[in-house]
C-alpha cells in the first residue's frame, strides 16, 4: 500500500516546470458505465470519445473497490487516490448520531454563500480529510499553481478541487447562476457576475430538447414511449420533445437545465469562461481544472440506462468533449495538457425492464424492513424507536435506547443482522463490531470496510442480491457493489501518456497516483492506490 505525504517546499525552477503540463484537466462524468463507450461507439463523432480512446490510454477493467458507489465519495476517491474509510466522504449524506440527523457531504454552516443566500450555497470541502491532486500541486509549487472546480452539482465541483482550491463553482437551481462560498472568496469575480448576467441560462431554458440525430440511430435504446421511465411533471408520457420553458415551473425552474444535456453544455461554457478569464495554464506553473458533467446522472435516474434520453445525452456530451479538446489544443497545444476522464459510479438496469426480460432483478423496500425490525424489537424488549436511520443499505440503531434498557449493543446488532438475512433480497449482512476488526478477506467485505468509518458508519450494513435496488418502478439508481455500479471507464490523454489500452484490473484509487506520477508530484496524503505504469510515457 502506498501512503503519500506532503513534503517540504522544493526549489522549483522554470526548467522543471517545462517537464510538466501547462494544465491538468480532470473530467468526471456522473453515472457513466464503462459500456457507454462501446454501446454508442458507432454513433460518436471522431473528435470526442473516439479521439480520447484512439489517441489516449484506455483502462478497460477499472472498478470502484468500496461501497457505497455514490456521487460524493466517487468524486473524492478519484482525486484523493483512496476510499471513504480514509478520505471521510462516506456517501452523499450520512447520519450523525450526536446530531440526530444526516449531513450533506459538502454542507458547512460556518460559511456563507457567495452569489446566493440559499443554504444550498453554504458549502465547502470541510468534511474531506485527505489531500487531492490539486492540493498536492499547490503545495509543491508553494501555492503558485491554481486549482479550480466547476460543476452544476456542488459536490461535483468542491470535492475534486480539494481544500486548498482557488475556487469551486456550482449552479443554483432557483436562479441558474453559478455561485461559490466564503471558503474560497469574499465576492464573485466580475467575470462570473458577467456570465450570470449574460442570459445564457435563460437561453438554454428557452431550448427544446429533441433527438440530436434521426430516430433510426437510437437502435441501442428502448422505444421512446415505455413504462420504465419517469415523465417530467406536467407530461403524461416520457417522450421527446421536451420544451424546457413550458416544464420549468413544475420542475424546479433551472433544474430543468440540469436534467437535460444542456446542463453539461452550460458547465462547459462556464469552464471555458473560467480558463479564459483566470488565464489558467498561461503562467509559469501548472494549473488544474476539475470539471464534472452531472446531467447524465439525473437523466439516468429519471429515464434509466437503456433510454433514448440517455443515449442522446451521451451523443451530445460527445460533442461537448470534442469542443473541450479543440479548445485545449488551440490554447495550450496538443502535447501541453494532461487530461483524464472517469466516472463517479455506474448505473443499474431498470429492474422492472429486466424482470420483463426474465433477468434476476428486483426491488427492495427498506421502509418495510425498518418497520418490521422496530416491531420485532418492540415485542421482545418494549416499545421504542429502535431504528434511528436507514440509508445506503446501512441501518443505524438507537444506541441511546439500547443503553437505557440495559441491553448489549453487539447482541442487538447481531439480532438485527439475523432478521435481515431472513429477507430473500438480502445476500449478506455485517455488523459494525465485526467490521471494526478490519480483517475481511472476502471481496465484498473488503469493499464494505473501505467505505466504513468506526466513528460514523451504521450498526448493520447489508448487501442486496445482484440486480436489486431500492423500490422504484422506473428509472435507475446506483450504490451497490455490483459491476453495474463499479465498472467505469478511465482514460488518460495528452502530456506524458502512452497510447494504448489495458484489460488489467485497476481500481479508482489508482487514478490519482497515476496523475501525480506523470506530473512528478507528491502522492496525495491518504493514497492507497498504485500508479498505472502502463499509462505513463517514459
Q: Judge whether residue 202 has pLDDT over 60.
A: yes
pLDDT at residue 164, rounded to an integer: 98
How far apart are the C-alpha atoms of 202 and 192, rounded to whole Å?
A: 16
Residues ≥6 apart with Cβ < 8 Å to 289: 23, 24, 25, 26, 148, 150, 271, 274, 275, 280
Residue 478 to residues 170, 344, 475, 490, Cα–Cα distance (Å): 23, 10, 11, 19
pLDDT digits 0-9 by tens, 271-324: 999 999 999 999 999 999 999 999 999 999 999 999 999 999 999 999 999 999
Residues designated as active site: 71
Question: Nearest 10 degrees: CA dihedral of 272, 159, 339, 277?
Answer: 20
Nearest Cα residue to 478 out of 27, 153, 32, 76: 32
HSE toward the beta carbon, residue 369, CA cutoff 13 A: 27
Hey, how many other C-beta atoms are within 10 angstroms of the C-beta on 197? Answer: 9
Q: For the chain, state the CA radius of gyration.
A: 23
Supply 22's cell numbers: 501547462
- What phi-psi label fits residue 106: left (phi over 0), alpha (psi between -120 and 50 degrees) or beta? alpha
Hey, how many other C-beta atoms are within 10 angstroms of the C-beta on 496? Answer: 20
Per cent of the chain over pLDDT 70 is 96
Element (DSSP H or E) covering residue 506: strand 506-507
Q: What is the pTM of this model?
A: 0.94
Q: DSSP of 85-98, one letter per residue?
A: HHH---SSEEEETT
Q: Quick check: 250 and 234 in contact, CB under 8 A?
A: yes
pLDDT digits 0-9 by tens, 249-281: 999 999 999 999 999 999 999 999 999 999 999
Nearest Cα residue to 494 out of 45, 78, 21, 19: 21
Q: Which residue's entry shows cell 440511430? A: 217
Q: Which domains does the chain have, with CATH numbers?
A: 21-287+295-350+480-501+519-535 (3.40.720.10), 362-466 (3.30.1360.150)
Per cent of the chain over pLDDT 90 is 89
Residues in the chain: 538
Q: Which residue's entry shows cell 484537466? A: 25
How far apart are the C-alpha atoms of 386 and 395, rounded to whole Å?
A: 10
- Which tops the pLDDT comparison, 7 or 37? 37
Amino acid at each position: 500500500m502506498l501512503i503519500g505525504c506532503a513534503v517540504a517546499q522544493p526549489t522549483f525552477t522554470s526548467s522543471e516546470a517545462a517537464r510538466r503540463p501547462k494544465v491538468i484537466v480532470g473530467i468526471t462524468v456522473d453515472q457513466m458505465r464503462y459500456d457507454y463507450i462501446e454501446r454508442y461507439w458507432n454513433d460518436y463523432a471522431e473528435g470526442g470519445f473516439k479521439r480520447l480512446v484512439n489517441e489516449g490510454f484506455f483502462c478497460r477493467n477499472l472498478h470502484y473497490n468500496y461501497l457505497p458507489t455514490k456521487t460524493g465519495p466517487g468524486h473524492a476517491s478519484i482525486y484523493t487516490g483512496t476510499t471513504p474509510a480514509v478520505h471521510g466522504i462516506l456517501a452523499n449524506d450520512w447520519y450523525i448520531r450526536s446530531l440526530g440527523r444526516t449531513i450533506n457531504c459538502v454542507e458547512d454552516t460556518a460559511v456563507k454563500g457567495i452569489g446566493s443566500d440559499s443554504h444550498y450555497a453554504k458549502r465547502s470541502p470541510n468534511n474531506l480529510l485527505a489531500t487531492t491532486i490539486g492540493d498536492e500541486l499547490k503545495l509543491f509549487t508553494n501555492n503558485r499553481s491554481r486549482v479550480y472546480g466547476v460543476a452544476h452539482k456542488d459536490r461535483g465541483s468542491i470535492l475534486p478541487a480539494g481544500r486548498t482550491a482557488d475556487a469551486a463553482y456550482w449552479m443554483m437551481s432557483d436562479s441558474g447562476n453559478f455561485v461559490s462560498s466564503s471558503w474560497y472568496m469574499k465576492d464573485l469575480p466580475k467575470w462570473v457576475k458577467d456570465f450570470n448576467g449574460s442570459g445564457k441560462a435563460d437561453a438554454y431554458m428557452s431550448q427544446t430538447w429533441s433527438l440530436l440525430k434521426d430516430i433510426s440511430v437510437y437502435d441501442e435504446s428502448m422505444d421512446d414511449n415505455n413504462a420504465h421511465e419517469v415523465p417530467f411533471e406536467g407530461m403524461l408520457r416520457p417522450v421527446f420533445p421536451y420544451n424546457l420553458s413550458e416544464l420549468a415551473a413544475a420542475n424546479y425552474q433551472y433544474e430543468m437545465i440540469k436534467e437535460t444535456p444542456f446542463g453539461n453544455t452550460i458547465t462547459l461554457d462556464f469552464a471555458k469562461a473560467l480558463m479564459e478569464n483566470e488565464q489558467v495554464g498561461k503562467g509559469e506553473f501548472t494549473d488544474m481544472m476539475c470539471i464534472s458533467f452531472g446531467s447524465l446522472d439525473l437523466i439516468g435516474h429519471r429515464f434509466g440506462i437503456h433510454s433514448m434520453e440517455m443515449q442522446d445525452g451521451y451523443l451530445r456530451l460527445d460533442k461537448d468533449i470534442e469542443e473541450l479538446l479543440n479548445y485545449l489544443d488551440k490554447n495550450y497545444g496538443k502535447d501541453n495538457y494532461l487530461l483524464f476522464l472517469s466516472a463517479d459510479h455506474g448505473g443499474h438496469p431498470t429492474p422492472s425492464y429486466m424482470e420483463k426480460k426474465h433477468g434476476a432483478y428486483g426491488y427492495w423496500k427498506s421502509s418495510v424492513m425498518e418497520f418490521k425490525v422496530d416491531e420485532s424489537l418492540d415485542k421482545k424488549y418494549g416499545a421504542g424507536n429502535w431504528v434511528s436511520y436507514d440509508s445506503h443499505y446501512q441501518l443505524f440503531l438507537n444506541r441511546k435506547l439500547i443503553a437505557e434498557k440495559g441491553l448489549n449493543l453487539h447482541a442487538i446488532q447481531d439480532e438485527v443482522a439475523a432478521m435481515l438475512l431472513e429477507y430473500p433480497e438480502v445476500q449478506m449482512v455485517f455488523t459494525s463490531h465485526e467490521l471494526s476488526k478490519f480483517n475481511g478477506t472476502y471481496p465484498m467485505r473488503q469493499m464494505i470496510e473501505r467505505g466504513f468509518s468506526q466513528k460514523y458508519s451504521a450498526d448493520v450494513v447489508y448487501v442486496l442480491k445482484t440486480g436489486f435496488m431500492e423500490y422504484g418502478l422506473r428509472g435507475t439508481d446506483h450504490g451497490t457493489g455490483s459491476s453495474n455500479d463499479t465498472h467505469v471507464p478511465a482514460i488518460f490523454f495528452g502530456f506524458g501518456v502512452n497510447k494504448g489500452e489495458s484489460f488489467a484490473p485497476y481500481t479508482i484509487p489508482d487514478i490519482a497516483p497515476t496523475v501525480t506520477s506523470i506530473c512528478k508530484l507528491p502522492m496525495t496524503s491518504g493514497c492507497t492506490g498504485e500508479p498505472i505504469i502502463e499509462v505513463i510515457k517514459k
